[in-house]
């Protein structure tokens, strides 16, 4: 065991001392993804006794209603009745994102870490719907703009992509600034 730990850069300090940044980011990634997945599954479960198309609540400040929709395709009705293919695509994309995170955890920023975790948690939430029910449960309907009805998983995926990209851009700017300082 000691040989394995020494070969992989984990000596006694890693065992007895505080957790590494990579370890903390990995725990944060997993916890964030699980919490987002559970929040998504819980909110969707609230609609088990609601009829499709039924207005449940709203409008809220003229911004959105809560209305149940069963989505068998992608946003705006694209790829309708492609539930299985979209579920497989989502599961594969989540697996790729997780592997990417594991390969880059040492250099990933916190924004990238949390962003990818939200993408994975949301992606798994919608994939579970597709595989178990044959459709995605959507229920947040904007009233001020023509926009597809969405759910908590979709919020995680969208916000996660924004956070991930912001993390990449900010770490790139930080790296360029540090490189410029070294050359001066």
Q: How many CB atoms lie within 10 A of CB 56?
A: 14
Assigned token pair, 180: 């410029």
From the list 16, 129, 146, 154, the catalytic residue is 154
For residue 18, pLDDT beyond 70 = no
128-177 pLDDT per residue, tens: 999 999 999 999 999 999 899 999 999 999 999 999 999 999 987 655 55
Distance CA 62, CA 165 (A): 30
Is residue 152 within 8 Å of 43, Cβ to Cβ? yes
**If you ran DSSP here, which 8-state letter would residue 73 be given?**
S
- Rounded average pLDDT over 104-111: 94
Enter the pTM of the model.
0.81
Terminal Cα distance for the chain, rounded = 45
Distance between CA atoms of residues 89 and 77, nearest Å: 17
Alpha helices in the chain (DSSP H): 2-7, 12-16, 21-45, 83-104, 110-133, 152-183
The answer to whether residue 154 is catalytic is yes
Q: Which residue in this structure is represented by tokens 């300082």? A: 181
Of the candidates 16, 129, 138, 146, the residue annotated as catalytic is: 138
Tokens of 141: 């309907």
- For residues 130 and 87, the answer to whether their CB atoms sit within 8 Å is yes
* Per-residue tokens: 125: 């939430």
Q: What is the pLDDT of residue 103?
A: 95
Residue 14 binned pLDDT confidence (cut-offs 50, 70, 90): very low
Domain segments of the chain as ranges:
21-183
Question: Do 123 and 89 meet the contact criterion of CB atoms below 8 Å apart?
Answer: no
* Beta carbons of 167 and 112 less than 8 angstroms apart: yes
Which single residue is written with the structure tokens 């940044």? Answer: 21
For residue 49, give both structure tokens: 């006794």
């Amino acid at each position: 065991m000691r040989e394995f730990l020494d070969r992989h850069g984990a000596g006694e300090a890693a065992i007895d001392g505080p957790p590494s940044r990579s370890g903390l980011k990995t725990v944060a990634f997993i916890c964030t993804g699980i919490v987002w997945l559970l929040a998504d599954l819980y909110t969707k479960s609230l609609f088990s006794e609601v009829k499709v198309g039924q207005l449940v609540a709203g409008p809220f400040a003229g911004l959105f209603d809560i209305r149940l929709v069963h989505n068998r395709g992608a946003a705006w009705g694209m790829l309708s009745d492609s539930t299985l293919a979209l579920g497989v695509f989502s599961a594969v994309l989540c697996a790729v994102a997780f592997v990417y995170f594991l390969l880059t955890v040492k250099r990933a920023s916190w924004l990238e870490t949390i962003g990818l975790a939200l993408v994975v948690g949301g992606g798994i939430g919608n994939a579970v719907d597709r595989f178990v029910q044959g459709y995605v449960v959507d229920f947040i309907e904007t009233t001020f703009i023509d926009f597809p009805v969405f759910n908590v998983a979709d919020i995680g995926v969208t916000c996660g992509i924004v956070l991930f990209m912001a993390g990449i851009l900010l770490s790139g700017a930080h790296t360029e600034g540090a490189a410029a300082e070294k050359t001066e």
